[in-house]
Structure 1
Amino acid sequence: MNRLIIICGKTNSGKSTLKNALLQHGFESIVTYTTRSPRPGEVNGVDYHFVSEEEFENLKKGQLLEWSGYTKDGQIVQVGSSKESYMQPGKHVAILDAAGLKALKESNTPYEAYYLDIPKKELIRRARQRGTEDEKQVMERLDMEEEGYNDVKLYATPLPLMSTDDLVHIVLTNDFS
């Protein structure tokens, strides 16, 4: 059975946590490309394919199905997924931002998308706990993301704040009760 699950959400919404939980249920990861530097503990080829700006520009010339960008510390960071990765048979899970999800929808690739609709206050709390960005950076990033996520509910089923186990149950069974 082929099944493509897309997880979408703002910074610190729990996208990677949900993705990792689904991997424990037999899903395979679609690893996206990015021009940003790895965070501590991230592994090239597992969490992302970390590439240079030049390599990313070459990928955009026909190998990527979708891509988008955002600004961090005054630099543009690009993220995208290869066409080939979405054509693989089996059960797959990917994390996309709102722009990437919209591009995927326009490609007519069959998928199920879930938007982690987490309150801003909780996103800020999680950012403090993670400690990889200062509060000003987090607020700037959340403010930038706000506009991009206005229409995401047109492309994805919103999921409120709940435990990872409950999120996994909903995704696996489509049981929202």
Structure 2
Amino acid sequence: MTIVEFALVAPVMLLLLMGLFDLCYRAYAQSILTGAVQAAGRRGTLEGNSSTTATAALDEAVIRQMRAVANNLTWSSSRKFYRSYSNISAEPFDDANHNNQYDPGECYSDINNNNRWDTDPGNSGQGGANDITVYTMTVTYPRLFPLTGFMGLPTTQEISASTRLKNQPYGSQAADAPETRCG
């Protein structure tokens, strides 16, 4: 009788334990990634870290820390810079139609001067002195227990971390005034 009860309860208990371990592993990996991204972001705000070589070295420092947690990972990173914290949103526009969305022909402030309205007016790269940089790293790694594939769940997990920091005032910054454009 006890063996039958154990045979019924054991698979459910093992499945719950594997789910709990997988969840804890994800939380641990997320905390490592968040800390590494914040540290790399802080180092990136210092003078001399806006070159492609310097940003690649900062990315590699993050990945080095993540490989200790999940060796078989893939990753991607992005950096966008803005002139101020208030620019980290869609470009403002005059909502002539009162429909809360930009429609062609409405006037807008062209913050990044690319002659079109953008939901994200950031420019790629680390930026210059006093710019706000948004640094994001996304990591995909195999799950701790690949049995999730039998349940229809993906066998990999994706986590992401982002930080927003202002670059040090190490040089003169060009002051861009957004132009108002219509159409």
Give your verdict on TM over 0.5. Answer: no
TM-score range, shorter chain: under 0.3
Structure with the greater alpha carbon radius of gyration: 2
What TM-score comes out, normalization by structure 1 length? 0.25
Structure of greater relative contact order (alpha carbons < 8 Å, 6+ residues apart) = 1
